[in-house]
A and B are shown apart, each in its own frame.
Chain A
Amino acid sequence: MHIKHLRTTTAFAVAAVAVGALAGCSSDEDPEATGSSSGETSSEAPGGTYTWWDPYPQHEAGSDWEGRVQACGEEAGVTLERTAYDTTALTNQLLLSAQEGTSPDVVLLDNPAVSTLADTGAIVSMDELGFDTSSIDENLLAAGVVDGTAYGIPIGANTLALYYNAEILEEAGVDPASVTDWDSLNAALEAIDAAGHNAITFAGINTEEGSFQFLPWFWGAGADLTELNSPQAVEALDLWVNWVDSGLAPQTVISNSQNTTWEEFLTGDFGFVENGTWQVNSAAEAEFETGYITLPAKNGGAAPAPTGGEFVMAPVQDDTARYAVTTQIIECMTTPEGFVETADTFAYYIPPTAEGQDQFIEAHPELEVWVDAVRAAKGRTSDNLGTDYPIISEQLWTAVNAAMSGAQSSQEALDAAQEAAQSELG
């Protein structure tokens, strides 16, 4: 009898655990159904915990950025729980959480992904939260606008330029001010090559970064994203391909990310590098003297560079009472003072409003070039591309990669890209 008793108990215990496990599975869906009841408790009492996601895993707990985020939470009277993902992972996590009904309260998202996410209906519009977005620079806000409604506010903006190694340019007898169009750039690159240095490096990796880096040349030649195989587009791609073929740029550009490219430049053996505002500090700390010029368009003048930077957004919540605090948190990030503070924290983010930019230039007169570059920059999803942009961009980076690796000629690669983009867009 003793044995039997023990057995039955064990069996019940095992069964109970199993049932518990099953219940655990089904209760995953509960937050969706009963979300409002659990949400109410947190919204009744001021305070509570709000969630915040951003794409800056490099800024860990205890960093200036973390402090900046927490200060906004404190101001709104809540604790912010911050989670950082890299950009691609963040988009995926957002989609999954939107599907599960577990979206964060506030999210910072890379600008080309904003329209895609807004299109899912998982983002609250800025109108609904009561924000006036009219003071934001139009070229910067464009990435967050779908059908005339803004779904986010840029917390800052960055863009691309050509950094140079002043020592190498001097040795090769190149005056950076003389580089104003493609011809003068090519002449400068050949002079650097003749002096025995690597002339230029950039990121041609087959991801969004590759498209981001290629766009200034693409737009600078007068090409348009709706026609990937135009003669101007082919000309722009040929420029890159020729640099690789003639050895002005190293083979590594085919697989370089922007970070790798910057590492190459920091070795001190490269004349030019195409990179972004976010390297200003690193450039100043380099072991050699550096400078930067705007990316030249084919026939002179500044090429329109794509804008980079994150938008602050509020994903839809079951419990709409949470929006009041969410609004306060976003407010804290988007006042002119808030923009300048963010810019100071990162040391590279240019405020997206005229007022913020003026305050920023006052504090950092040396960065005025970057402010001008951001004002001239162009959103990747602008020109009414919106959610079409990621599809076109994928084809563009595939073509750039194929042409540079020698698998196809520029014309063939871009023809294929245009055809693929058209068939995907229907």
Chain B
Amino acid sequence: MAHAATHDEHHDEHHEHQNFFQRWVMSTNHKDIGTLYLVFSLLMFFIGGSFAMVIRAELFKPGLQLVQPYFFNEMTTMHALVMIFGAVMPAFVGLGNWMIPMMVGAPDMALPRMNNLSFWILPFAFALMLSTLFLPGGGPAGGWTMYPPLSLQSASTAYVVFAIHLMGISSIMGAINIIATILNMRAPGMDLLKMPVFVWSWLITAFLLIAVMPVLAGAVTMLLTDKYFSTHFFDAAGGGDPVLFQHVFWFFGHPEVYIMILPAFGIISEIIPTFARKPIFGYKAMVFAIASIAFLSFIVWAHHMFAVGLPLGAEIFFMYATMLIAVPTGVKVFNWVATMWGGSMTFETPMLFAIAFVILFTIGGFSGLMLALVPADFQYHDTYFVVAHFHYVLVTGAIFAIMAATYYWIPKWTGNMYSEFWGKVHFWNSVVWVNVLFFPQHFLGLAGMPRRIPDYNVAFANFNMISSIGGFLFGASQLIFLSVIIHCVWFSKKKATDRVWEGARGLEWTLSSPPPHHSFTIAPVIHDEELAHGHVED
């Protein structure tokens, strides 16, 4: 019976001997590992979010009321590290784990045991990193970018570097697995140019991960040897250069930014056609745009460093290259709008988040374009304008896409419908408060308030208070998200159909809801009209 509860499905197959430990800790099943990734990322989202609450509480009004400046710096640093490496990246890997095999008609990931290892490294990596907050000397407080010489003053360098090595190993293994799955495990007839855009976005993202995570590992290893073995890579007194670190770091860091947004593009490209009941507009252009953005991400790193004193030629090159990214990004946004145009739209929670994504991510893109203009960047750089920019891209971009994906696929995962009413309550609270939280930060930055300061002049008081109020309420709104998920998984009485959404297309919707523990053990037959983007002509 297609609508049987998850556990019954497992009993149907050869899993009845598994206890809890065997099922979750020793799992090699892409769905279970996907779930582990998603649960882990949700946990990290709340831990990283609680750090953000400390930050916003201290910034609620001028004067230091709650924490010492050093602890404040630990909070900003940890907030970023936890959100980037703990919340956003594992969430996308979890979504990829769950959905890629089901979308390409594969029985599982290509390398299931490595899949288990790449997840189970993560809890140890984060235990190591978070433990520094409770150790003498405290956690890292030099910013997530870890610029030397400041980062070398921290007592926790070794812990953080090893934690990042572990996260990097996990990411690289995950990326290899995804590439191997997509390139080798597609069902017959699932040509590369028939793959859902989400799968394409992950294929490209996985290559980015493999290319840049070793660069980060190298950079932090040099920090480690600088601190403990006097190597002077980044120490001018020993013939090194602090700016070298920034070049190497951002050679990782900029592609990293796209690692956090390309899968989001993929998700939105799945959701909008479903709820517009119309194939994605310009499928090939969408794929090509993702590939171009990925390529460009390797040649724009120094736009994070316009104020370090680059030569004129370098500033001009990196400015032009950065501005060029607006072209493929624009194509994507226009194509999403064109997908809606002439459709037959309904506005369930995933679609609401997707629409909010398109608008708010584009606002983040606009401020990105402004930041690319070097003379203007000399004003914006390291102010709250930058903070506003990247939170629009990462919170209303990446995280809204992850939430959209959760609402979109959770009926498929659990076999239960979530509460549409509470989903919408969550959406409207999130979208309102996130703007109250981040929009005033543009003004703070334009007025000249620097980033990463625990206290400020009274001229910045009004917008900081508004931003903090938005922050608390946005944070509280995520408890609704948690409740909707818990309700959907364990308490929802409303069963999901196999198709779930009227306009849903793609192989994953041909499976039961929830899908059998092992799906597509026999390769499916591909019908073009079943695919999300319809027929690709020419």
Q: Do A and B associate with each other?
A: no
